[in-house]
C-alpha cells in the first residue's frame, strides 16, 4: 500500500457518504481513513490527529464558520469542498478545489484525479513507487541501528525535520511503519547486520 | 443487513460467517438448528438487545447503536470485551505464532530470515499483551467502579482522583498504536520475505492476519462507539453527584 493518499470525509448524509466511499474505491491509492457526519465532539482534534492528505468537506456540516475551521487545522491537507449546484457562489469561491455532487460519475472521477494530481500531497507521487534513494538507505541504516531522529540529524548535518521527512518517505515507499518492521526490512536487504542492532 | 431478534441465527451466519467467533464469546456454539436469535438468547440468559448491538456493530461498519440500545449495563459490555481478549490471547495469537514457526521450519536456506519474522511477531505479541493487560487491569475496573458508584449513589475520593488523572477520552487514542505492527507484518510477508516453493503456509498466515485485523478493528469500534460514550455519560453523572 505504498504511495497511498489518505482522506477524511465530512458529510452528514448517509447516501452521499456511501456514494463518495464507492467513488474512492474506483481510484487506486486512495484510502478513506475516517468518515464523520460533522456532529462529532472534538472534530478538529480528531482530523488533526489522523493527519490526512485530503479533507473532503461538505461546508454545511460544520457548526463554526468555514474560516475558523480551516484555521484550526494544523495539518497540510488539501481541502476539497463537497458542493452541489445549489451551493451559493460565495461559499463555492472559498474552495480552491471542489467536487460537485450533481456531476456524473465520469466527471467526478476526472475531477478528483485532477485535484489529487495537482494537489500538494501528490508532489512526489512519481518517486513513491521507486526503490529507496541512497540518502534514504543511509537514514534507514541509522534508524534501524537504534539511533533517534535527533542523533541521526546531528550525524548527517541535517535538521530533525528533514530526517522526519525522509522517514515518512521511507514508510510510504516500503509500506512499513514501525521501527522494528523497518529493522526486519533492513536485515533482509543487508542494509544492516544483526550485530549492529545490539550496539 | 440489519440483524433482528426474530431472525434464525443460522441464516445470519450464512450471511456473515465472521460472526462465529463473536457468538462464541457469548457461549453460543454452532449447531443451533432452526432457533431464532431471541430463542437462543433466552435459553442462555444472554441479554438479547446487547447481543444484537454487538452483532450489528461487528457486521456493519455503518451501524451506529441508538441510545436506547445502549441501555445494558457497562459490566455486561466489559464481560464481552474480556471474552474477546481471551479469544485473541488463547486462540488467535498462538495459532498465528504456530504458523510462523512452521514457516521457519519449511524454509531450508532462509531459516534466519524467517526467524526474523518470528521475532517480529513475538515483539508484537508482547506489545499486544501489555495493551490488553492495561485495559483489563486499569480501564475496565475503572468503568465497573464508575457504574457501582452511580448504583449506590456514593462516590469515593479515590474514584474522583482516578477520574481526574485519567479520563476515558485518552483511551480512544491508544488504539492505533498496536495496529501498526500488524500492518507491517502483512507487508513483510507479502513484499519482502524471500519466496518459498510452496505458499500455502504464508497464505494461511495472511488469512489469519487479515482476519485478526478485522476483528481488532471491530473490537476497537465497539469500545469507541459503545464503551466510551457510556463512560463519558457516567463520568458526567458522577461529576454532578460529587458537586
What is the per-residue pLDDT across A91-127, written as a single tens digit (0 to 9) for each? 888 888 999 999 998 899 888 888 887 544 444 444 4
- Does the interface predicted TM-score (ipTM) exceed 0.85? no
Quick one: pLDDT at residue B52?
93
pTM over 0.80: no
pLDDT confidence of residue B229? 85
Q: Which of residues 61-100 of B touch A (CB under 8 A)?
A: 62
Least CB-CB distance to B120: which of A177, A180, A189? A180
Minimal CA separation from B35 to chain A, in Å: 33
C-alpha cell at A149: 531522529
CA-nearest residue of chain A to B184? A176
CB atoms within 10 A of CB A110: 11
pLDDT (0 to 100) of residue A127:
47
Show the cell assigned to B100. Answer: 510462523
| Count of alpha carbons within 13 angstroms of residue B221, beta-carbon side | 20
How much is the CA Rg of chain B, to the nearest whole Å?
A: 21
- Say whether pLDDT at B194 is over 90: no
Any CB–CB contact under 8 A between A177 and chain B? yes
Instruction: Round the average pLDDT of chain A to a whole number and report it.
Output: 85
A83 pLDDT band (50/70/90 cuts)? very high
B180 close to A (CB below 8 A)? yes
d(CA B64, CA B221): 10
Residue-wise DSSP of A32-74? EEEEE-S--TTHHHHHHHH--SEEEE-GGG-SS-HHHHHHH--
A199: pLDDT strictly greater than 70:
no
- What pLDDT is stored for residue B44 in this prediction? 92
Whose grid coordinates read 486512495? Answer: A30
* Residue B179 or residue B178, greater confidence: B179
The partner residue sitting opposite A188, judged by closest CB among B116, B173, B185, is B116
- The tally of CA atoms less than 13 A away on the side-chain side of residue A177 is 13
Residue A2 is predicted with a pLDDT of: 40
Interchain CB contact of A73 with B (< 8 Å): no
| B26 vs B23: CA distance, rounded Å | 5
Bridge partners, A79 (sequence order): A55
Residue B69 has pLDDT above 80, yes or no: no
Q: What is the DSSP letter of B199?
A: -
Q: Which residues, 6 or more positions from B154, have their beta carbon under 8 angstroms from its beta carbon?
A: none
Which residue of chain A has the CA closest to B113?
A188
Nearest CA in chain B to A18: B62
Closest CA to A185 of A143, A135, A148: A143
* Confidence grade of residue A190 (pLDDT, cut at 50, 70, 90): confident
**What integer pLDDT is reported at residue A129 of this predicted model?**
55
pLDDT for B231 beyond 50: yes
pLDDT greater than 70 at residue B172: no
Residue of B nearest to A184 (CA): B116
Neighbours of A196 (CB within 10 A): 15
Q: Which residues of A fall within a CB distance of 8 Å from B125?
A: none
| Integer Cα distance of B130 and B136 in angstroms | 10
Q: Residues B28, B31, B35, B38: what is their CA dihedral angle, to the nearest 10 degrees?
A: 10
Catalogue the long-range contacts made by A144-148 (C-beta closer than 8 Å, 24 or more residues apart). A144/A179, A144/A182, A144/A183, A144/A186, A144/A187, A144/A191, A144/A192, A144/A197, A145/A192, A145/A196, A145/A197, A145/A199, A146/A197, A146/A199
Length reported for chain A: 199
Amino acid at each position: 500500500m505504498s504511495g497511498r493518499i489518505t482522506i477524511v470525509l465530512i458529510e452528514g448524509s448517509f447516501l452521499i457518504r456511501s456514494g463518495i466511499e464507492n467513488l474512492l474505491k474506483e481510484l487506486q491509492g486512495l484510502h478513506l481513513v475516517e468518515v464523520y457526519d460533522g456532529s462529532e465532539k472534538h472534530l478538529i482534534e480528531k482530523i488533526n490527529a489522523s493527519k490526512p492528505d485530503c479533507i473532503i468537506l461538505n461546508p454545511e456540516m460544520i457548526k463554526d464558520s468555514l474560516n475558523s475551521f480551516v484555521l484550526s487545522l494544523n495539518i497540510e491537507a488539501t481541502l476539497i469542498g463537497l458542493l452541489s449546484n445549489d451551493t451559493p457562489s460565495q461559499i463555492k469561491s472559498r474552495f480552491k478545489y471542489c467536487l460537485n455532487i450533481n456531476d456524473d460519475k465520469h466527471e467526478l472521477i476526472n475531477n478528483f484525479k485532477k485535484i489529487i494530481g495537482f494537489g500538494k500531497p501528490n508532489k512526489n507521487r512519481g518517486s513513491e513507487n521507486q526503490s529507496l534513494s541512497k540518502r534514504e538507505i543511509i537514514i534507514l541504516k541509522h534508524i534501524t541501528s537504534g539511533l533517534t531522529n535527533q542523533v541521526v540529524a546531528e550525524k548527517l548535518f541535517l535538521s530533525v525535520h528533514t530526517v522526519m521527512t525522509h522517514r515518512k518517505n521511507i514508510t510510504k515507499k516500503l509500506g512499513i511503519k514501525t521501527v522494528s518492521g523497518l529493522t526486519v526490512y533492513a536485515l533482509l536487504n543487508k542494509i544492516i547486520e544483526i550485530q549492529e542492532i545490539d550496539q | 443487513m440489519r440483524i433482528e431478534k426474530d431472525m434464525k441465527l443460522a441464516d445470519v451466519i450464512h450471511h456473515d460467517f465472521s460472526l462465529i467467533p463473536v457468538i462464541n464469546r457469548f457461549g453460543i456454539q454452532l449447531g443451533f438448528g432452526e432457533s431464532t436469535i431471541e430463542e437462543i438468547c433466552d435459553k442462555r440468559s444472554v441479554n438479547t438487545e446487547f447481543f444484537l448491538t454487538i452483532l450489528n456493530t461487528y457486521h456493519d461498519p455503518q451501524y451506529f447503536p441508538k441510545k436506547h440500545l445502549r441501555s445494558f449495563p457497562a459490566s455486561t459490555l466489559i464481560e464481552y470485551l474480556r471474552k474477546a481478549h481471551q479469544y485473541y490471547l488463547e486462540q488467535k495469537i498462538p495459532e498465528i505464532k504456530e504458523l510462523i514457526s512452521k514457516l521457519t521450519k519449511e524454509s531450508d536456506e532462509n531459516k534466519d530470515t524467517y526467524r526474523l519474522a518470528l521475532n517480529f511477531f513475538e515483539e508484537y505479541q508482547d506489545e499486544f499483551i501489555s495493551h490488553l493487560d492495561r485495559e483489563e487491569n486499569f480501564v475496565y475496573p475503572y468503568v465497573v467502579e464508575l457504574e457501582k458508584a452511580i448504583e449506590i449513589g456514593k462516590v469515593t475520593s479515590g474514584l474522583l482522583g482516578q477520574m481526574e488523572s485519567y479520563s476515558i477520552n485518552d483511551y480512544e487514542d491508544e488504539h492505533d498504536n498496536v495496529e501498526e505492527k500488524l500492518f507491517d507484518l502483512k507487508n513483510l510477508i507479502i513484499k519482502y520475505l524471500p519466496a518459498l516453493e510452496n505458499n500455502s503456509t504464508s497464505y494461511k498466515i495472511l488469512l489469519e492476519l487479515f482476519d485478526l485485523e478485522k476483528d481488532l478493528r471491530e473490537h476497537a469500534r465497539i469500545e469507541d462507539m459503545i464503551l466510551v460514550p457510556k463512560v463519558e455519560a457516567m463520568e458526567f453523572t458522577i461529576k454532578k453527584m460529587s458537586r
